[in-house]
Structure 1
Amino acid sequence: MLRDELKEIRDPVLRKVQDHPFWAGLRDGTLPPEALAFFVQQDTGHLLPAYARALARCAAAAPDDADTALLGQSIVGTLDARDKLRRAYADLASELGAPALGEQLPIDPATHAHASFFTAASARSFHDGLGALLPMVWFNAEVSDGLRDGVRPGSRYAPWIEVYHPGESYGYAVSAFLDMVDRAAETASERGRRAIVEQFSISVRYEWAFADCCLHQPSWPV
């Protein structure tokens, strides 16, 4: 199955992502609260909407109705998750000692690159889009499990980690996405299969870059 090849690509990057000071700081409570606010702004204001639109392009291009339905459900789930995260942050900000979100921040250059990558890959072909989109759902499951299981007792971010975790049912969504990718690879041309792998290999690197930009919160002229 293609997922086995993709997992070999994923695993070393996933370890670096999970060890990144942004996610490690959430687990042990040392993350500057401004970094979490920046993450929520960039993720819910820019990245998740771009991801949902890329899912929609793949849904429209899917050759199988079952895949169109799965991708359509993922669109709804992505936008629901965006709204849930914003509400949760607003409710918890004072408890976390974190700043209110305030006005939507401009898109960060790293976020812009990540979002544009989703747009370009999903516009190129169904297989390119699948390869680009898979890491976000796969990494989200692994990272959120790592946060839940590795949070330091008493960490200031424990309440956020609890609401950030998408729930046990999310595992079924990840499995369904992986099944779809495996099916697509089985029927794809050599070019189509290669496109999944190539776009996946790029996309996993954006998972690290996004955490890094949120940690450092680069500034720009207003």
Structure 2
Amino acid sequence: MLHEELRTIRDPVLRKVQDHPFWSGLRDGSLPGEALAYFVRQDTAFLLPAYARALARCAAAAPDDAAALLLGQSVVGTLEARDELRAAYTSFAAGHGLPALDEGSAVAPATHAHASFFGAATATSFHAGLGALLPMVWFNHEVSDRLKDGVVPGSRYADWSVAYHPGDSYQYAVRAFLDLVDRAGEECSAAERRVMVEQFSIGAQYEWDFAESCLQQGSWPM
């Protein structure tokens, strides 16, 4: 199955992401509040909307109704998750002395590059888009589980780890996406399969880049 091949690409990058000071700082409470506020602003204002639109383009190019339905449902789920994340942060920040979201801040270069990658891949082909879109949903599942299960009890972000987690049902959405990738990998040409793998590899690296840009948020123009 294709997702098992992709897992060998994912795992080393996922370990780097999990060990990154942004995510480890959330687990142990050492992350500056400004970095979390920056993450939520960039994610909800720019990255998640770009991801939703990329899902919609991929759905429009889907070869069958089942794929179009799954991707279309993911558009709705992504935008609803965006709104829930913003609301959760606003509530959390008010009770924990964290910065409010800076509604006037511009898209950061790393966020812009990541969002543009989604747009370019889904404009290329269905298979390129599918490969590019998989890392975000797959990494988010693993990272949010690790955050919830690994947060230091009583630390600064213990409550946030629960608020950030998409819920246990999210695993079924991830499984459905992986099943779609496996089916596409079986039915496509060798060249299309290579494109899926290449785009997945690039998308996985962007997951680390986004964490790095949020940790280094003070270096970006606000």
Q: TM-score range by the shorter chain?
A: over 0.9
Match of 1:3 in 2: 3
> Per the alignment, in what secondary structure is the counterpart of residue 152 of structure 2?
coil
What RMSD in Å do the two structures reach over aligned CA positions? Answer: 1.0
1: CA distance, partners of 2:133 / 2:97:
33
Does the 8 Å CA contact 2:67/2:180 hold for their aligned counterparts?
A: yes
2: CA distance, partners of 1:130 / 1:11:
19
2: CA distance, partners of 1:122 / 1:4:
22
Unmatched segments (≥5 aa) in structure 2: none
Unmatched segments (≥5 aa) in structure 1: none
Match of 2:213 in 1: 213
Match of 1:41 in 2: 41
Q: Deviation at 1:158?
A: 1.1
* Amino acid corresponding to residue 111 of structure 1 in structure 2: T
Q: Deviation at 1:219?
A: 4.0
Percent sequence identity is 71
Q: Give aligned pairs, total.
A: 222
Does the 8 Å CA contact 1:108/1:218 hold for their aligned counterparts?
A: no
Decide whether aligned partners of structure 1 residues 206 and 153 sit closer, same or farther in structure 2, where only a CA change above 3 A counts.
same
Match of 1:80 in 2: 80
Are 1:186 and 2:196 counterparts? Answer: no
Decide whether aligned partners of structure 1 residues 187 and 147 sit closer, same or farther in structure 2, where only a CA change above 3 A counts.
same
> Per the alignment, in what secondary structure is the counterpart of residue 106 of structure 1?
coil
Match of 1:91 in 2: 91
Are 1:154 and 2:130 counterparts? Answer: no
Does the 8 Å CA contact 2:55/2:133 hold for their aligned counterparts?
A: yes
Match of 1:200 in 2: 200
Q: TM-score, normalization: structure 1?
A: 0.98
Does the 8 Å CA contact 1:50/1:118 hold for their aligned counterparts?
A: yes
Does the 8 Å CA contact 1:33/1:96 hold for their aligned counterparts?
A: no
Q: TM-score, normalization: structure 2?
A: 0.98
2: CA distance, partners of 1:41 / 1:208:
17
2: CA distance, partners of 1:219 / 1:12:
27
Q: Deviation at 1:95?
A: 2.1
